[in-house]
Structure 1
Amino acid sequence: MVLVVGEEYNSTKAELYTFEDGAKVFEPIIVNVGKSGFGFGLGEVELFQKNGEPTKYEGDQKAPIGIFKLDAIFGYKKGMKFKMPYIHAKKGVICVDDSDSEFYNKIIKEPKIKPKSFEEMRRDDGQYELGIVVGHNKEQIKKRGSCIFMHVQKAQNAPTAGCTSMTLEEIKKIASWLDESKNPILIQVTRAQLEEVLKLYGSLKF
Protein backbone atom coordinates (compact mmCIF):
# COMPACT_ATOMS: atom_id res chain seq x y z
CA MET A 1 0.00 0.00 0.00
CA VAL A 2 1.16 3.49 -0.90
CA LEU A 3 -0.51 6.17 1.23
CA VAL A 4 -0.33 9.81 0.12
CA VAL A 5 -1.65 12.42 2.57
CA GLY A 6 -2.05 16.12 1.84
CA GLU A 7 -2.86 18.66 4.54
CA GLU A 8 -5.74 20.41 2.75
CA TYR A 9 -7.68 20.34 -0.53
CA ASN A 10 -5.50 23.11 -2.00
CA SER A 11 -2.17 21.53 -0.95
CA THR A 12 0.35 21.00 -3.75
CA LYS A 13 2.64 18.90 -1.53
CA ALA A 14 1.91 15.69 0.37
CA GLU A 15 3.61 13.01 2.45
CA LEU A 16 3.99 9.52 0.97
CA TYR A 17 4.11 6.41 3.16
CA THR A 18 4.57 2.76 2.18
CA PHE A 19 3.07 -0.20 4.05
CA GLU A 20 3.15 -3.98 3.80
CA ASP A 21 1.11 -6.14 6.17
CA GLY A 22 0.29 -3.01 8.15
CA ALA A 23 3.93 -2.05 8.84
CA LYS A 24 5.85 0.86 7.29
CA VAL A 25 8.39 -0.18 4.63
CA PHE A 26 10.38 2.94 3.63
CA GLU A 27 10.93 6.27 5.31
CA PRO A 28 8.18 8.78 4.41
CA ILE A 29 8.94 11.20 1.57
CA ILE A 30 7.54 14.54 0.43
CA VAL A 31 5.89 14.42 -3.01
CA ASN A 32 4.34 16.92 -5.41
CA VAL A 33 0.65 16.65 -6.27
CA GLY A 34 -1.79 18.65 -8.40
CA LYS A 35 -1.28 22.35 -9.07
CA SER A 36 -4.91 22.84 -7.97
CA GLY A 37 -4.62 20.47 -5.01
CA PHE A 38 -7.02 17.54 -4.58
CA GLY A 39 -10.49 16.48 -5.74
CA PHE A 40 -12.53 13.32 -5.20
CA GLY A 41 -11.74 10.80 -7.94
CA LEU A 42 -13.11 7.43 -9.04
CA GLY A 43 -11.41 4.43 -7.44
CA GLU A 44 -12.06 1.01 -5.92
CA VAL A 45 -13.78 2.23 -2.75
CA GLU A 46 -15.99 5.31 -2.53
CA LEU A 47 -14.85 7.60 0.29
CA PHE A 48 -17.38 9.90 1.95
CA GLN A 49 -17.59 13.27 0.21
CA LYS A 50 -19.36 16.14 1.98
CA ASN A 51 -21.30 18.82 0.11
CA GLY A 52 -18.94 21.46 -1.19
CA GLU A 53 -15.84 19.25 -1.18
CA PRO A 54 -14.03 19.29 -4.56
CA THR A 55 -14.50 16.68 -7.29
CA LYS A 56 -11.83 15.66 -9.82
CA TYR A 57 -12.54 16.53 -13.49
CA GLU A 58 -10.54 16.35 -16.71
CA GLY A 59 -7.98 19.14 -17.00
CA ASP A 60 -8.60 20.66 -13.55
CA GLN A 61 -5.04 19.90 -12.35
CA LYS A 62 -6.33 18.21 -9.20
CA ALA A 63 -4.84 14.99 -7.85
CA PRO A 64 -7.59 12.40 -7.28
CA ILE A 65 -8.69 11.50 -3.75
CA GLY A 66 -9.54 7.82 -3.35
CA ILE A 67 -8.36 4.24 -3.19
CA PHE A 68 -6.90 3.04 -6.49
CA LYS A 69 -5.25 -0.10 -7.83
CA LEU A 70 -1.67 0.28 -9.02
CA ASP A 71 -1.90 -1.39 -12.42
CA ALA A 72 1.49 -1.28 -14.14
CA ILE A 73 4.91 0.32 -14.37
CA PHE A 74 6.11 2.20 -17.45
CA GLY A 75 9.47 3.54 -18.53
CA TYR A 76 11.74 4.62 -21.35
CA LYS A 77 13.95 1.52 -21.22
CA LYS A 78 12.93 -1.62 -23.05
CA GLY A 79 12.38 -4.91 -21.19
CA MET A 80 12.80 -3.69 -17.61
CA LYS A 81 12.05 -6.38 -15.05
CA PHE A 82 9.60 -5.71 -12.24
CA LYS A 83 7.07 -7.75 -10.26
CA MET A 84 4.39 -5.76 -12.10
CA PRO A 85 3.24 -5.55 -15.74
CA TYR A 86 5.63 -3.27 -17.66
CA ILE A 87 4.78 -0.84 -20.48
CA HIS A 88 7.64 0.32 -22.70
CA ALA A 89 7.02 4.06 -23.17
CA LYS A 90 8.46 4.20 -26.65
CA LYS A 91 7.74 6.64 -29.47
CA GLY A 92 4.15 6.28 -30.66
CA VAL A 93 2.73 5.13 -27.32
CA ILE A 94 0.14 7.60 -26.03
CA CYS A 95 -2.30 8.11 -23.17
CA VAL A 96 -5.67 9.42 -24.37
CA ASP A 97 -7.29 12.32 -22.52
CA ASP A 98 -10.02 12.97 -25.12
CA SER A 99 -13.29 12.22 -23.26
CA ASP A 100 -15.11 11.44 -26.51
CA SER A 101 -12.62 8.79 -27.60
CA GLU A 102 -13.29 5.06 -27.12
CA PHE A 103 -9.69 4.96 -25.84
CA TYR A 104 -10.27 7.63 -23.17
CA ASN A 105 -7.95 7.08 -20.19
CA LYS A 106 -6.09 4.24 -21.96
CA ILE A 107 -2.41 3.83 -22.83
CA ILE A 108 -2.33 2.65 -26.45
CA LYS A 109 -0.21 2.57 -29.56
CA GLU A 110 -1.11 5.70 -31.54
CA PRO A 111 -3.92 4.73 -33.99
CA LYS A 112 -4.15 5.92 -37.61
CA ILE A 113 -7.08 8.16 -36.70
CA LYS A 114 -5.67 10.09 -33.78
CA PRO A 115 -7.81 11.12 -30.81
CA LYS A 116 -8.40 14.87 -30.50
CA SER A 117 -6.29 15.02 -27.37
CA PHE A 118 -3.57 12.77 -25.96
CA GLU A 119 -0.16 12.87 -24.39
CA GLU A 120 3.00 11.19 -25.57
CA MET A 121 4.35 8.63 -23.13
CA ARG A 122 7.83 9.13 -24.58
CA ARG A 123 8.35 12.70 -23.48
CA ASP A 124 11.25 14.98 -24.33
CA ASP A 125 12.00 15.32 -20.62
CA GLY A 126 12.66 12.67 -17.97
CA GLN A 127 9.30 12.85 -16.20
CA TYR A 128 8.14 9.52 -17.62
CA GLU A 129 11.54 7.83 -17.49
CA LEU A 130 9.93 5.61 -14.89
CA GLY A 131 6.38 5.72 -13.57
CA ILE A 132 3.44 3.81 -12.12
CA VAL A 133 -0.06 3.67 -13.63
CA VAL A 134 -2.77 4.62 -11.12
CA GLY A 135 -6.12 2.89 -11.73
CA HIS A 136 -8.24 6.06 -11.59
CA ASN A 137 -11.54 6.25 -13.54
CA LYS A 138 -11.18 2.76 -14.98
CA GLU A 139 -14.82 2.89 -16.12
CA GLN A 140 -13.82 5.74 -18.49
CA ILE A 141 -16.53 8.09 -17.22
CA LYS A 142 -16.45 11.16 -19.44
CA LYS A 143 -14.57 14.20 -18.20
CA ARG A 144 -13.77 12.67 -14.81
CA GLY A 145 -10.00 12.59 -15.37
CA SER A 146 -7.43 10.47 -17.18
CA CYS A 147 -3.77 9.48 -17.38
CA ILE A 148 -3.05 9.60 -13.65
CA PHE A 149 0.42 8.39 -12.78
CA MET A 150 3.12 8.42 -10.16
CA HIS A 151 6.18 9.72 -12.01
CA VAL A 152 9.48 11.62 -11.87
CA GLN A 153 9.18 15.22 -10.71
CA LYS A 154 9.83 18.12 -13.06
CA ALA A 155 11.60 19.94 -10.20
CA GLN A 156 11.69 19.67 -6.43
CA ASN A 157 8.79 22.06 -5.86
CA ALA A 158 6.93 21.70 -9.15
CA PRO A 159 3.25 20.73 -8.77
CA THR A 160 1.72 18.44 -11.41
CA ALA A 161 -1.29 18.39 -13.73
CA GLY A 162 -2.92 15.88 -11.34
CA CYS A 163 -0.30 13.17 -10.90
CA THR A 164 1.98 12.45 -7.92
CA SER A 165 5.68 13.11 -8.53
CA MET A 166 8.97 12.50 -6.75
CA THR A 167 12.67 11.95 -7.53
CA LEU A 168 13.78 9.20 -9.92
CA GLU A 169 15.52 7.39 -7.04
CA GLU A 170 12.30 7.40 -5.00
CA ILE A 171 10.13 6.14 -7.86
CA LYS A 172 12.70 3.39 -8.58
CA LYS A 173 12.57 2.24 -4.96
CA ILE A 174 8.76 2.07 -4.93
CA ALA A 175 8.49 0.46 -8.38
CA SER A 176 11.02 -2.25 -7.44
CA TRP A 177 9.07 -3.05 -4.27
CA LEU A 178 5.58 -3.28 -5.81
CA ASP A 179 4.35 -6.81 -6.47
CA GLU A 180 1.30 -7.57 -8.64
CA SER A 181 0.59 -10.75 -6.66
CA LYS A 182 0.02 -8.64 -3.53
CA ASN A 183 -2.61 -6.39 -5.19
CA PRO A 184 -0.87 -3.05 -4.55
CA ILE A 185 -3.01 0.04 -4.03
CA LEU A 186 -2.61 3.78 -3.76
CA ILE A 187 -4.65 5.53 -1.10
CA GLN A 188 -4.54 9.27 -1.75
CA VAL A 189 -6.36 11.58 0.65
CA THR A 190 -6.24 14.79 2.64
CA ARG A 191 -6.17 14.86 6.45
CA ALA A 192 -9.99 15.14 6.29
CA GLN A 193 -10.30 11.54 4.98
CA LEU A 194 -7.49 9.99 7.02
CA GLU A 195 -9.68 8.86 9.92
CA GLU A 196 -12.02 7.07 7.49
CA VAL A 197 -9.07 5.33 5.82
CA LEU A 198 -7.62 4.19 9.16
CA LYS A 199 -11.02 2.66 10.03
CA LEU A 200 -11.04 0.77 6.72
CA TYR A 201 -7.46 -0.41 7.22
CA GLY A 202 -7.23 -0.92 10.96
CA SER A 203 -3.93 -2.80 10.77
CA LEU A 204 -1.98 0.29 9.63
CA LYS A 205 0.67 1.36 12.12
CA PHE A 206 0.43 5.02 11.14
Structure 2
Amino acid sequence: MSRLITLVTAMIATITTPALSQTCPPPLNGAVRLVLVTAPDMESTGGLLQLFARETPAHAWTPASTPHPVRLGKHGLAWGIAFEAYKRGDEREKTEGDKCTPAGFFRIGPSFGFVASERHNYITIKPGETVCVEDPASPLYNTITQRVQLAPETKADNMADTSLFRNGLFVDYPSDRANKRGSCIFIHIWKTPDTPTSGCVALPEPQVKALQQFAEGGAVLAVIPQTARDRFPTCLPDMSAPHDP
Protein backbone atom coordinates (compact mmCIF):
# COMPACT_ATOMS: atom_id res chain seq x y z
CA MET A 1 0.00 0.00 0.00
CA SER A 2 2.77 2.44 0.92
CA ARG A 3 4.40 1.81 -2.45
CA LEU A 4 1.11 2.61 -4.21
CA ILE A 5 0.74 5.85 -2.24
CA THR A 6 4.28 6.85 -3.18
CA LEU A 7 3.60 6.17 -6.86
CA VAL A 8 0.34 8.15 -6.82
CA THR A 9 2.05 11.07 -5.05
CA ALA A 10 4.79 11.12 -7.68
CA MET A 11 2.22 11.08 -10.48
CA ILE A 12 0.33 14.00 -8.95
CA ALA A 13 3.56 15.96 -8.56
CA THR A 14 4.40 15.34 -12.21
CA ILE A 15 0.99 16.60 -13.31
CA THR A 16 0.79 19.64 -11.03
CA THR A 17 4.42 20.79 -11.12
CA PRO A 18 5.21 22.34 -14.54
CA ALA A 19 8.61 21.89 -16.13
CA LEU A 20 10.89 24.86 -15.59
CA SER A 21 10.77 25.63 -19.31
CA GLN A 22 6.99 25.75 -19.74
CA THR A 23 6.56 29.38 -18.67
CA CYS A 24 9.63 30.61 -20.54
CA PRO A 25 9.60 32.17 -24.01
CA PRO A 26 11.04 30.37 -27.04
CA PRO A 27 13.69 29.50 -27.93
CA LEU A 28 14.75 29.35 -24.26
CA ASN A 29 11.93 26.97 -23.33
CA GLY A 30 13.50 24.08 -25.28
CA ALA A 31 17.18 24.89 -24.81
CA VAL A 32 19.71 22.71 -22.99
CA ARG A 33 22.69 25.04 -23.50
CA LEU A 34 22.57 28.70 -22.56
CA VAL A 35 24.90 31.64 -23.11
CA LEU A 36 23.64 34.15 -20.56
CA VAL A 37 24.63 37.80 -20.89
CA THR A 38 23.41 40.15 -18.18
CA ALA A 39 23.94 43.91 -18.04
CA PRO A 40 23.02 46.34 -15.26
CA ASP A 41 20.33 48.10 -17.33
CA MET A 42 19.23 48.95 -20.87
CA GLU A 43 21.83 51.72 -21.17
CA SER A 44 24.82 49.53 -20.28
CA THR A 45 27.61 48.97 -22.79
CA GLY A 46 29.13 46.09 -20.83
CA GLY A 47 28.09 43.14 -18.73
CA LEU A 48 28.90 39.56 -17.84
CA LEU A 49 28.66 36.34 -19.83
CA GLN A 50 28.35 32.87 -18.32
CA LEU A 51 27.62 29.46 -19.84
CA PHE A 52 24.99 27.08 -18.46
CA ALA A 53 23.73 23.62 -19.38
CA ARG A 54 20.98 21.21 -18.32
CA GLU A 55 20.11 17.60 -19.15
CA THR A 56 16.61 18.37 -20.47
CA PRO A 57 14.35 21.45 -20.60
CA ALA A 58 12.68 20.18 -17.42
CA HIS A 59 15.92 20.27 -15.41
CA ALA A 60 17.51 23.23 -13.64
CA TRP A 61 20.44 25.07 -15.20
CA THR A 62 23.94 24.33 -13.92
CA PRO A 63 27.02 26.53 -14.57
CA ALA A 64 29.36 25.44 -17.36
CA SER A 65 31.81 28.33 -16.93
CA THR A 66 32.66 31.20 -14.64
CA PRO A 67 31.34 34.70 -15.47
CA HIS A 68 33.57 37.02 -17.46
CA PRO A 69 33.19 40.54 -18.92
CA VAL A 70 31.75 41.28 -22.36
CA ARG A 71 31.23 44.43 -24.39
CA LEU A 72 27.82 45.36 -25.77
CA GLY A 73 26.40 47.98 -28.11
CA LYS A 74 27.61 51.58 -27.99
CA HIS A 75 24.04 52.67 -27.19
CA GLY A 76 23.28 49.81 -24.81
CA LEU A 77 20.41 47.35 -25.30
CA ALA A 78 17.12 47.43 -27.23
CA TRP A 79 14.44 44.74 -27.21
CA GLY A 80 14.75 42.42 -30.18
CA ILE A 81 12.02 41.10 -32.39
CA ALA A 82 9.37 38.97 -30.62
CA PHE A 83 10.23 40.54 -27.26
CA GLU A 84 8.49 43.90 -27.56
CA ALA A 85 5.86 42.79 -25.05
CA TYR A 86 8.52 42.64 -22.34
CA LYS A 87 9.62 46.25 -22.61
CA ARG A 88 8.60 48.82 -20.01
CA GLY A 89 8.17 52.57 -20.34
CA ASP A 90 10.50 54.16 -22.86
CA GLU A 91 12.80 51.14 -23.31
CA ARG A 92 13.90 50.90 -26.93
CA GLU A 93 13.14 48.36 -29.65
CA LYS A 94 15.98 47.20 -31.88
CA THR A 95 16.22 48.95 -35.28
CA GLU A 96 18.79 48.93 -38.06
CA GLY A 97 21.84 51.07 -37.34
CA ASP A 98 20.91 51.96 -33.73
CA LYS A 99 24.17 50.46 -32.33
CA CYS A 100 22.16 48.57 -29.70
CA THR A 101 22.60 44.91 -28.81
CA PRO A 102 19.22 43.14 -29.04
CA ALA A 103 17.75 42.02 -25.71
CA GLY A 104 15.85 38.74 -25.60
CA PHE A 105 16.50 35.08 -26.39
CA PHE A 106 17.98 34.01 -29.72
CA ARG A 107 19.42 30.82 -31.17
CA ILE A 108 23.13 30.87 -31.89
CA GLY A 109 23.86 30.04 -35.50
CA PRO A 110 27.01 28.86 -37.24
CA SER A 111 30.56 29.66 -36.20
CA PHE A 112 32.80 31.56 -38.60
CA GLY A 113 36.42 32.57 -38.93
CA PHE A 114 39.34 33.29 -41.22
CA VAL A 115 40.71 29.74 -41.01
CA ALA A 116 38.77 26.77 -42.39
CA SER A 117 37.23 24.38 -39.85
CA GLU A 118 35.34 21.10 -39.85
CA ARG A 119 32.71 22.44 -37.44
CA HIS A 120 29.13 21.83 -38.55
CA ASN A 121 27.87 24.65 -40.82
CA TYR A 122 31.09 26.61 -40.22
CA ILE A 123 31.55 29.65 -42.51
CA THR A 124 35.07 30.44 -43.73
CA ILE A 125 35.46 34.19 -44.15
CA LYS A 126 37.09 34.95 -47.51
CA PRO A 127 38.50 38.38 -48.42
CA GLY A 128 36.43 40.18 -51.03
CA GLU A 129 33.76 37.47 -50.95
CA THR A 130 32.09 36.93 -47.58
CA VAL A 131 29.62 39.63 -46.52
CA CYS A 132 26.73 40.10 -44.12
CA VAL A 133 23.82 41.99 -45.66
CA GLU A 134 22.69 45.09 -43.75
CA ASP A 135 20.48 46.53 -46.49
CA PRO A 136 16.71 46.16 -45.77
CA ALA A 137 16.03 46.56 -49.49
CA SER A 138 17.74 43.23 -50.15
CA PRO A 139 15.91 39.90 -49.85
CA LEU A 140 19.16 38.58 -48.34
CA TYR A 141 18.95 41.06 -45.45
CA ASN A 142 20.44 39.70 -42.22
CA THR A 143 22.27 36.81 -43.88
CA ILE A 144 25.91 35.91 -44.50
CA THR A 145 26.43 35.39 -48.20
CA GLN A 146 28.86 36.08 -51.07
CA ARG A 147 29.22 39.54 -52.54
CA VAL A 148 28.61 38.13 -56.02
CA GLN A 149 25.05 37.23 -54.97
CA LEU A 150 24.17 40.89 -54.37
CA ALA A 151 23.41 43.88 -56.53
CA PRO A 152 26.35 46.32 -56.69
CA GLU A 153 24.53 48.97 -54.65
CA THR A 154 23.52 46.60 -51.82
CA LYS A 155 24.94 47.63 -48.44
CA ALA A 156 26.84 44.74 -46.86
CA ASP A 157 29.59 44.31 -44.28
CA ASN A 158 32.80 42.87 -45.76
CA MET A 159 33.60 40.49 -42.94
CA ALA A 160 37.27 39.96 -43.80
CA ASP A 161 38.01 43.66 -43.36
CA THR A 162 38.24 43.45 -39.57
CA SER A 163 40.32 41.16 -37.38
CA LEU A 164 37.43 41.17 -34.90
CA PHE A 165 35.80 38.53 -37.11
CA ARG A 166 38.85 36.26 -37.09
CA ASN A 167 36.69 34.01 -34.90
CA GLY A 168 33.00 34.45 -34.11
CA LEU A 169 29.45 33.15 -34.16
CA PHE A 170 26.39 34.35 -36.05
CA VAL A 171 23.35 35.05 -33.89
CA ASP A 172 20.18 33.72 -35.51
CA TYR A 173 18.35 36.98 -34.89
CA PRO A 174 14.86 36.76 -36.50
CA SER A 175 14.87 40.22 -38.03
CA ASP A 176 12.17 41.98 -40.06
CA ARG A 177 13.47 43.82 -43.10
CA ALA A 178 10.12 45.51 -43.84
CA ASN A 179 10.39 47.33 -40.52
CA LYS A 180 14.21 47.57 -40.49
CA ARG A 181 14.51 45.72 -37.18
CA GLY A 182 18.26 45.10 -37.26
CA SER A 183 20.71 42.69 -38.84
CA CYS A 184 24.09 40.95 -38.65
CA ILE A 185 24.30 40.36 -34.91
CA PHE A 186 27.49 38.50 -33.99
CA ILE A 187 29.43 37.22 -31.05
CA HIS A 188 32.98 38.24 -31.93
CA ILE A 189 36.41 39.26 -30.60
CA TRP A 190 36.48 42.53 -28.71
CA LYS A 191 38.63 45.43 -29.87
CA THR A 192 39.66 46.35 -26.32
CA PRO A 193 38.15 45.61 -22.90
CA ASP A 194 36.69 49.16 -22.92
CA THR A 195 35.41 49.46 -26.50
CA PRO A 196 31.68 48.94 -27.09
CA THR A 197 30.34 47.32 -30.26
CA SER A 198 28.01 48.35 -33.06
CA GLY A 199 25.34 46.04 -31.61
CA CYS A 200 27.10 42.72 -31.14
CA VAL A 201 28.45 40.85 -28.11
CA ALA A 202 32.26 41.00 -27.90
CA LEU A 203 34.76 39.16 -25.69
CA PRO A 204 38.41 38.00 -25.76
CA GLU A 205 39.37 35.62 -28.56
CA PRO A 206 40.12 32.57 -26.35
CA GLN A 207 36.62 32.81 -24.92
CA VAL A 208 35.11 33.22 -28.40
CA LYS A 209 36.82 29.96 -29.42
CA ALA A 210 35.55 28.20 -26.29
CA LEU A 211 32.06 29.47 -27.06
CA GLN A 212 32.28 28.11 -30.62
CA GLN A 213 32.87 24.67 -29.16
CA PHE A 214 30.16 25.04 -26.50
CA ALA A 215 27.54 26.12 -29.06
CA GLU A 216 28.41 23.56 -31.74
CA GLY A 217 25.58 21.26 -30.70
CA GLY A 218 23.11 24.13 -30.44
CA ALA A 219 22.75 26.88 -27.84
CA VAL A 220 20.61 29.91 -27.03
CA LEU A 221 21.91 33.40 -26.35
CA ALA A 222 20.08 35.36 -23.65
CA VAL A 223 20.78 39.09 -23.37
CA ILE A 224 18.89 40.53 -20.42
CA PRO A 225 19.32 43.69 -18.34
CA GLN A 226 19.35 43.03 -14.61
CA THR A 227 16.40 45.41 -14.32
CA ALA A 228 14.28 43.02 -16.42
CA ARG A 229 15.15 39.67 -14.81
CA ASP A 230 11.88 39.61 -12.86
CA ARG A 231 9.97 39.63 -16.16
CA PHE A 232 11.21 36.07 -16.74
CA PRO A 233 10.51 34.33 -13.41
CA THR A 234 12.02 30.83 -13.07
CA CYS A 235 13.58 31.09 -16.56
CA LEU A 236 17.08 32.32 -15.85
CA PRO A 237 19.80 30.77 -13.67
CA ASP A 238 21.47 32.77 -10.92
CA MET A 239 24.70 34.48 -11.84
CA SER A 240 27.18 36.82 -10.23
CA ALA A 241 26.01 40.44 -10.24
CA PRO A 242 26.83 42.01 -13.61
CA HIS A 243 28.99 45.06 -13.93
CA ASP A 244 29.61 47.75 -16.50
CA PRO A 245 33.38 48.10 -16.69
TM-score, with normalisation over the residues of structure 1? 0.89
Residue from 112, 115, 123 that aligns with 1:87: 123
Change (3 A) 1:112 1:196: closer
Instruction: Answer yes or no: is the 8 Å Cα contact 2:106–2:220 preserved in 1.
Output: yes
Deviation at 1:141, TM superposition (A): 4.5
User: Is 1:146 matched up with 2:183?
Assistant: yes
TM-score, with normalisation over the residues of structure 2? 0.76
SS of the equivalent of 2:164 reads coil
Corresponding residue for residue 118 of structure 1? 156
Corresponding residue for residue 17 of structure 2? none
SS of the equivalent of 2:50 reads strand
Instruction: Answer yes or no: is the 8 Å Cα contact 1:23–1:205 preserved in 2.
Output: no
Change (3 A) 1:148 1:141: farther
Instruction: Looking at secondary structure, tell me which structure has more strand per residue.
Output: 1
Q: CA separation in 2, counterparts of 1:116 and 1:85?
A: 25
Corresponding residue for residue 225 of structure 2? 190
Map 1:158-173 onto structure 2 (within 5 A).
158-173=195-210
- Which amino acid in structure 2 is aligned with residue 2 of structure 1? V
Instruction: Looking at secondary structure, tell me which structure has more helix per residue.
Output: 2
SS of the equivalent of 2:86 reads coil
Corresponding residue for residue 66 of structure 1? 104
SS of the equivalent of 2:210 reads helix
Corresponding residue for residue 35 of structure 1? 74
Deviation at 1:112, TM superposition (A): 5.5
Tell me how large the CA RMSD over aligned residues is.
1.8
Q: Which has the larger radius of gyration?
A: 2
Identify unmatched segments of 5+ residues in structure 2: 1-33, 55-60, 240-245
Map 1:14-25 onto structure 2 (within 5 A).
14-21=47-54, 22-25=61-64
Identify unmatched segments of 5+ residues in structure 1: none
Number of residue pairs the alignment of both structures matches? 198
Instruction: Answer yes or no: is the 8 Å Cα contact 1:97–1:105 preserved in 2.
Output: yes
Q: CA separation in 1, counterparts of 2:87 and 2:152?
A: 36
Q: CA separation in 1, counterparts of 2:107 and 2:178?
A: 17
Q: CA separation in 2, counterparts of 1:88 and 1:94?
A: 11
Deviation at 1:191, TM superposition (A): 0.8
Residue from 194, 213, 217 that aligns with 1:176: 213
Q: CA separation in 2, counterparts of 1:101 and 1:86?
A: 24
